[in-house]
Structure 1
Amino acid sequence: MSPVPGGARTWLAGALCALAVSASLLSLTGAVAPGRWLPVGAAAVIALAALLAVLRSTTTAWWAPTLVGGLAVGLGLLAAYASPPGRFQPVPSTASLARLGDTFRAGLAYTDMSRPPVEAIPALELLIVGGALLVLLVVDLLALGLGAPAWSGLALLALWLPGITLGRPGSGLAFVGAAAAYVLLLALTAAPPPGSRGSRRSSDGPRRAGLAAAGAATVTVGALALSPLAGSLPGFATLSLPSLGAVSTGSLQLAQDLDLRESLGARSSEVVLTYRADPVGVGPLRVFTLRDFDGENWSRDTRTAGVAADDALLWPARDLADRPAGEAQPTTTSVDVTIRGLREERLPVPVMPRTLDSAGRWTYDAERDEVNRPSVTRPGMSYTMEVELLDLTADGLRGADVTYPADLDQYLEVPRTSHSDDVAAAAAEIASAADGTYEQALALQSYLRSAQNFTYDTEVPPARSDDAVWDFLQSRTGYCVQFGTAMTLLARTLGIPARLGVGFLPGTADDTGTQVVTGRDSHAWPELYFPGAGWVRFEPTPAVQSGSPPRWADPFASTGNAPVPEPNPRDEGAVPSAAPSQAPQAGPASAAADSDRPLRIAAGAAGSLMFLVGLGWWWRRRRSAAAVGLDPEVAWTRLRGRLAAAGITWSDARTPRQAAVLIVSELERRIDGPLGPEAGAALNALVRALEETRYAPAPRPLEHGELEDYVRAIVRELARSTRSSERVG
């Protein structure tokens, strides 16, 4: 029988289950963008809770409501998310099962690739709504079917895990609502129903219920009072949680182990930073640079270099020494940056020379041209830069010296693969008509940016060799990581030092003129070294995604020398990521190729229901075994041990009745008065049960709770006698 049988208590318990699950749904609002998923999920949870309450009010079978509710959930999800396009199909078919399986897998893939806050596409909505309904089934089964309400908290935790692991658990009110509903559910199920045998036997249930209710009130008030203060605690914003793959928990972090084999993941619309540049734009903001490439993956090198912060110009000293004496005076631009949702140990800075004014400690790594911090950036922190826009022109780069410093040989390394010679031959062919280093670089950029040669696509074709650059040159399909890597490696084969820069495009200006940079603006580009100019950015990614190339690398730009703001494109696919790309959409061909998919889906659903039923059967058997374990002999031994600890003992020669007389006499002596009626009745009942067990041919069966109540009543009287003795002494 359910521990909360019939009547208003069943409906109240069901309402608390629905409230706990609905409030837990709010924990996803930090990771999932606003949409219809929340009202749809809450409505589905309420409807299922009402169905379960009706079923538990009309049956004493603990498993029946879960079984019927599970079938209702399956049919509802099939009708809502797997009906044929344009019409509603309440009766499932093998085709609808296949569509539901496709949508489910698409939702998993989309979730695996996405960065918060992610748009709730229908496939993701299916996961959210279906997951909430499954959690409600488990909460109802544990709390009301199996009488284990405390374990239902683990089921609720499943809805909180996504937000917690991503550092986006929604509002504090979501926690308050879920915690209050959970603790009130504990309070409701702790007290036996009024008028039941358990309520007449023991007064402990109401006391537990009162304590649970007080706990719920404490949690609610505490969360309301403390949650607004938590964000202002020192160090709270910089709390570093474990990193999940390429995504840092809490905010966006760029991946440093870029994999050319991976498709591009869904981009985050989170604002990572804002900045104002006066008087002109400064182009992309670079976070870090990469040198080492093994044919498939970029990796962070192990060099440790850096100097303490000072007022000097942040620009490699070698590049300053090589700048021509007669070069035009650079234009200085002031840039004020505010971090919003970025979690990096390096500050985003322009690719041009700059000075920096930032609170806290930081160091400058001249080898990589990076500004490092001892801790991650946090929302609200700001810093100011004075950027010198170098007067880079096509003519100036065309006339640059081709003698490179010896320490740049490391930027000429090309991984040895089965197609490294083919890559070198391709570079030589592309630049065959170029005269000089700059013309070669421009030829490579123009070749890759041409829409006739390459197509921008976030889906990367399967690998065909051990050389990802060669595969890209053959498939001619990729996104910024493939384009940037290809130009970097092609330039190296031509003897031009090159590296990969990773950071953000300039973003989009809002109504106030502030540049707003989101996760969708993250980007990767090649940087080639020119003596006298340093590391120079090029843009091989097609214009449809990256906009116009830098002025000095634009073959169609005018030859004027005045600095002009760079274009502010939003690179819709430029998120350096190790995550796969957009959720794959299964088509008719894939459904036909997997004809046994409906049977596997149906088998999986049946297996899940059988697992729930088996879990319930095991739990019931476990409880029954525990009830059998406390027989009158065990209860008598337990009581004898508690009394012996208080100094009341007797020998085994005494019968249970003789021992009872001794117990009563000793307790009355200690309290200086008659034994309480509840304790006396409990002692007599326990002795009678013990005698029946020992001597009766068919002893009367007793429930686990009855024997526990007998022992508790006598122990409470023992505690009263002990307190009386202390007062007398």
Structure 2
Amino acid sequence: MSAVRSRFPARLLVALLANLMTWMAIHSWNGMVEEPLKFTGPALTAALLIAVTGAVLRGTPLPSYLVLVVQILVVLVWFFHHQDVSTSYGGWLPTWDGISAISDQIRTGASAINTYAAPVRAARVTAPMYLLGLALLLLLAVDFIAAGLRRPTWAGLPILVALTVPISVLSEPLAAHVFIGTAVLFVMLLATVENEQTLAWGQAVTGRRQRDDTTDQVLDRASAQLPALKIGAVAAVAALVLPIFIPIGRGVLDAGPDNGQSGRGAGQQVQLRNPMVDLRRNLVQEDHLPLLDVRTDAADPSYLRTTVLDTFNGTAWVPGHRDLPETNIAQGRLPDPSGVSPTTPGTTSTWNLKTTENFRTTWLPAPYLTRDISVDEGDWRYDITTLDLANTDKNPPIPVSYRLTGFAQVYDPAKLNAATVAPDDILKPMTAVPKLTATVSQIAKEVTASGTTDYAKVVLLQNWFRNDGGFRYSLDPAPGDGMDQLERFITTEKVGYCEQFAAAMAVMTRALGIPARVVVGFLAPEKLSDETYEFTSDDLHAWPEVYFRGSGWVRFEPTPSTRTGTAPSWTRGNVRPQPTNTPSASPTTSAPIPKPTKKPTENTQTPTASGTSSTTYLRLAVVLLLLCLLAVPALLRRAQRRRRFTDRANARLEVENLWRELRATATDLRIPWPEGRSPRTAARIVCHRVNAGPDEVNELLVLVGVLEQARYRERFVLDEDTRARCREATRHWITVLVEATPSRRSRVALVWPRSALSSQRRAELDVPAVAHADANSFTEVG
């Protein structure tokens, strides 16, 4: 027992470092909820509990997988007590009713993370519980890999998943203190485990400064750990500092926009990087933050575009690839849009605009059309196909002042109605609808059955959404995303806000073979004085545009009048809507665009309805984590076998490793290995169990003879010929063991090797130093 007690501090240190590293990594999830302390605080308690329990149990003969089972039970009991489940026995032991209650709360938390844009508000109290559940899984996984299997390098895989997934969900970069803390703890973990393994091999890495038997060097823990910590510190600092000096463009130049969600930054700052996701978040926050100050002589300063979403990927509308060469600088005259002639009738207006400190955007709001522009700050460029204005700086400027000349095109309904088919370069990409369902296509055809032209069909679609389809505007739509949610929206739910209406109409228009896309921007400003206006976060809006040859991209408005007022005049053609059996909503009025009204406090956050949701990434993280865990034993086993056959640092240990490899192979194949017997006796028993032939028996006895010499001779030298014979004997006997086993059991052993999970690994790590005693005190064999 003294040996166990003496190693307990080392085991505890490894477990504490692994769990604290994991706890630091889960701080990258803080942006998902408003009160992250509600899951990071309990997670710290769980981390300490897992570390202490594991350190105690690993001093017993229990195999590592049974230690994990006990840890899971201990954590579950603590978790139920922490949640204060009233149905628990004595407040600790859960009942079936308690388990059901906790499961319901976790499912509700997962739904909240999936339904609401990050950060999920404090009123959704189950969201932190869901994150706590994921944190517990991660803590158990990392502890099992790093402290149970003693493979700290593999523990980096789940940690990497934990750090990477929130970056894809949240647009904010990983916090520096989280990165540095996780990196330093990881390096400390690696150094500690390596030191303990070196100690177990009997080399002189001790606090008493004993001599190393082979290198004649003086080592101690500090001398081994300090270089590792220095390397880790240099690497962490380099990872933080180098990007400052290396110019890296934003994804808008090459890979397109980021599809992550982001929460409010410091000072309640609005961000507009992923347009549809940011539109959703900022609308439902209802902060009424001033975003854009405008002075213009335009008769109607509404509908300012920020971004064109011209790609539908089957789940969400996103900006497609933007071609932004240096020649497309947004300074001076801009090109005319496709399909619009310079002689097109319309009215010209002048604009002076300035974004506020509240508005950080990579897309510049501007009226459509914009003839010319002058921007004071930043590198802004236009895409020739969409004519939206994107910033290419690593850090977009804030605020931004700019001036432009706007052009309000006059659309002729008769010309729109007579338009011919769009050119092929627009028709094919702008009518693509991946994952289009038969229901959506059929409804689009039924609603527009009375239309004889593309224009007539689009007008019928708009009227169906605004008047005849029974739709209702609300910032509380049902949760969901993708084509399934769109289908529910147009068939049964019929409740949503501008995002749902614009996305659904654009998809249905494309389903009819008519080019369409979605635009995100501002609806209508608040008038402050003569020719002076202010756009706020409540004015963000989305609408569809439809292409007509000779007129270009034309704006339509499917969102009901309660939000948008009267539909554009050119969209109210003399086309009778297709009769339907659905209840009729209130008719479109001629009132001006109404300003949004405040909702009750309990409804200030609304479900997300399209785009990539937080839980999609979290579920992916869980799946990846489980796959990593399932793959770890097989990967460890392969690495172990490779090391045993290639390690030549110590002749005695080299032979021991070959013998261990045979024992591990037998364990994997569930061939009973005679524990506690001498190598020669164990060899005879194994030969009998597999019905080995005389040649195979002699080959194994050669390995046994060399092993006995390695263990008991005072001076042992392994020449190349003997080394080759031992390795060949080991490889041959691995084949013998496999052939003596049913094929199904052999396949299972490859995927789930039992030796990687058994207590045998501890025996390997606890190999004592070779005793340099008098050779006469041992019986030399062979």
TM over 0.5: yes
Number of equivalences: 600
CA separation in 1, counterparts of 2:766 and 2:83?
50
2:69 matched to 1:67? Answer: yes
Could you say which residue in structure 2 is the equivalent of 1:35?
A: 36
Deviations 1:601-647 (A, max 9, x none): xxx9xxx9xx99x98899799979988999999549999xxxxxxxx
Could you say which residue in structure 2 is the equivalent of 1:525?
A: 543
Deviations 1:275-317 (A, max 9, x none): 4323589444434446799999879899999994552256548
62, 67, 76: which one pairs with 2:78? 76
Q: How does 1:485-634 map to 2 (within 5 A)?
A: 499-505=516-522, 523-527=541-545, 537-542=555-560, 546=563, 548=565, 555-557=589-591, 567=595, 577-579=610-612
Could you say which residue in structure 2 is the equivalent of 1:24?
A: 25
SS of the residue corresponding to residue 202 of structure 2 reads: helix
> Runs of 5+ in structure 2 lacking a partner?
205-209, 264-270, 572-587, 599-603, 617-621, 657-709, 720-762, 773-782
CA separation in 2, counterparts of 1:246 and 1:173?
25
Could you say which residue in structure 2 is the equivalent of 1:423?
A: 447
Could you say which residue in structure 2 is the equivalent of 1:93?
A: 95
Check whether the contact 1:142–1:151 (CA below 8 A) recurs between aligned residues.
yes
Aligned-pair distance for 1:216? 1.5
Aligned-pair distance for 1:190? 3.1
Check whether the contact 1:21–1:178 (CA below 8 A) recurs between aligned residues.
yes
Deviations 1:141-187 (A, max 9, x none): 34433333333333433422323445645321222222222222333
Check whether the contact 1:45–1:132 (CA below 8 A) recurs between aligned residues.
no
Distance 1:349 1:73, change over 3 A: farther
Distance 1:150 1:709, change over 3 A: farther
Could you say which residue in structure 1 is the equivalent of 2:467?
A: 447
Deviations 1:35-66 (A, max 9, x none): 33354244333442464267348745453543
CA separation in 2, counterparts of 1:400 and 1:193?
84
Aligned-pair distance for 1:191? 3.1
CA separation in 1, counterparts of 2:461 and 2:141?
62
Which shows bigger deviation, 171-180 or 380-389?
380-389
Distance 1:181 1:270, change over 3 A: farther
Distance 1:621 1:298, change over 3 A: closer
Distance 1:617 1:516, change over 3 A: same
Check whether the contact 1:255–1:577 (CA below 8 A) recurs between aligned residues.
no
SS of the residue corresponding to residue 30 of structure 2 reads: helix
Distance 1:505 1:125, change over 3 A: same
Deviations 1:417-439 (A, max 9, x none): 444542124779xx9xxxx9999
Which amino acid is the alignment partner of residue 24 of structure 2? A
Distance 1:79 1:578, change over 3 A: same
CA separation in 2, counterparts of 1:65 and 1:377?
48
SS of the residue corresponding to residue 159 of structure 2 reads: helix
Check whether the contact 2:47–2:139 (CA below 8 A) recurs between aligned residues.
no
2:295 matched to 1:278? Answer: yes
Check whether the contact 1:499–1:527 (CA below 8 A) recurs between aligned residues.
yes
Aligned-pair distance for 1:71? 0.6
Could you say which residue in structure 2 is the equivalent of 1:153?
A: 156
CA separation in 1, counterparts of 2:155 and 2:307?
46
Check whether the contact 1:508–1:516 (CA below 8 A) recurs between aligned residues.
yes
Aligned-pair distance for 1:270? 13
2:478 matched to 1:459? Answer: yes
Distance 1:514 1:37, change over 3 A: farther
Check whether the contact 1:448–1:541 (CA below 8 A) recurs between aligned residues.
no
SS of the residue corresponding to residue 478 of structure 2 reads: coil
2:348 matched to 1:332? Answer: no
Q: How does 1:2-401 map to 2 (within 5 A)?
A: 6-30=7-31, 32-49=33-50, 51-52=52-53, 55-56=56-57, 59=60, 61=62, 63=64, 65-80=67-82, 83=85, 90-108=92-110, 111=113, 116-119=118-121, 121-166=124-169, 168=172, 170-192=174-196, 198=202, 203=212, 206=219, 210-220=223-233, 223-224=236-237, 227=240, 230-231=243-244, 233-235=246-248, 246-247=259-260, 254=274, 274-278=291-295, 282-289=301-308, 308-309=328-329, 311-312=332-333, 316=337, 318=340, 320-323=342-345, 330=349, 332-336=351-355, 347-353=364-370, 355-358=372-375, 359-360=378-379, 362-365=381-384, 368-371=386-389, 378-380=395-397, 384-388=401-405
691, 700, 715: which one pairs with 1:686? 715
CA separation in 2, counterparts of 1:492 and 1:635?
73
Aligned-pair distance for 1:347? 4.8
CA separation in 2, counterparts of 1:145 and 1:17?
11
Which amino acid is the alignment partner of residue 234 of structure 1? P
SS of the residue corresponding to residue 518 of structure 2 reads: strand
Check whether the contact 2:50–2:75 (CA below 8 A) recurs between aligned residues.
no
SS of the residue corresponding to residue 403 of structure 2 reads: strand
CA separation in 1, counterparts of 2:180 and 2:63?
30
Which amino acid is the alignment partner of residue 483 of structure 1? F
> Runs of 5+ in structure 1 lacking a partner?
258-263, 559-564, 584-603, 640-680, 691-702, 713-729
CA separation in 2, counterparts of 1:618 and 1:242?
33
Deviations 1:366-425 (A, max 9, x none): x6443467x587543775443556679xxx879986675657687898999444542124
Check whether the contact 2:188–2:225 (CA below 8 A) recurs between aligned residues.
yes
Which amino acid is the alignment partner of residue 424 of structure 1? T
SS of the residue corresponding to residue 525 of structure 1 reads: strand
Aligned-pair distance for 1:130? 2.6
SS of the residue corresponding to residue 321 of structure 1 reads: coil
CA separation in 1, counterparts of 2:516 and 2:49?
57
Which amino acid is the alignment partner of residue 140 of structure 2? L
Aligned-pair distance for 1:456? 6.6
Task: Give the TM-score taking structure 1 as reference length.
Answer: 0.60
Could you say which residue in structure 2 is the equivalent of 1:598?
A: none
Check whether the contact 1:70–1:137 (CA below 8 A) recurs between aligned residues.
yes
Task: Give the TM-score taking structure 2 as reference length.
Answer: 0.56
Check whether the contact 2:116–2:608 (CA below 8 A) recurs between aligned residues.
no
Q: Taking every aligned residue pair, what percent have the same amino acid on both sides?
A: 19
Could you say which residue in structure 1 is the equivalent of 2:732?
A: none
Check whether the contact 2:255–2:321 (CA below 8 A) recurs between aligned residues.
no
CA separation in 2, counterparts of 1:207 and 1:521?
66
CA separation in 2, counterparts of 1:479 and 1:52?
51
Check whether the contact 1:323–1:533 (CA below 8 A) recurs between aligned residues.
no
Which amino acid is the alignment partner of residue 276 of structure 1? D
Which amino acid is the alignment partner of residue 366 of structure 2? V
CA separation in 1, counterparts of 2:336 and 2:609?
25
CA separation in 2, counterparts of 1:205 and 1:398?
91
Check whether the contact 2:416–2:551 (CA below 8 A) recurs between aligned residues.
no
CA separation in 1, counterparts of 2:128 and 2:636?
33
CA separation in 2, counterparts of 1:632 and 1:222?
28
Which amino acid is the alignment partner of residue 373 of structure 2? L
Distance 1:710 1:72, change over 3 A: closer
Which amino acid is the alignment partner of residue 223 of structure 1? A
Aligned-pair distance for 1:321? 1.8
CA separation in 2, counterparts of 1:508 and 1:88?
60
Could you say which residue in structure 1 is the equivalent of 2:266?
A: none
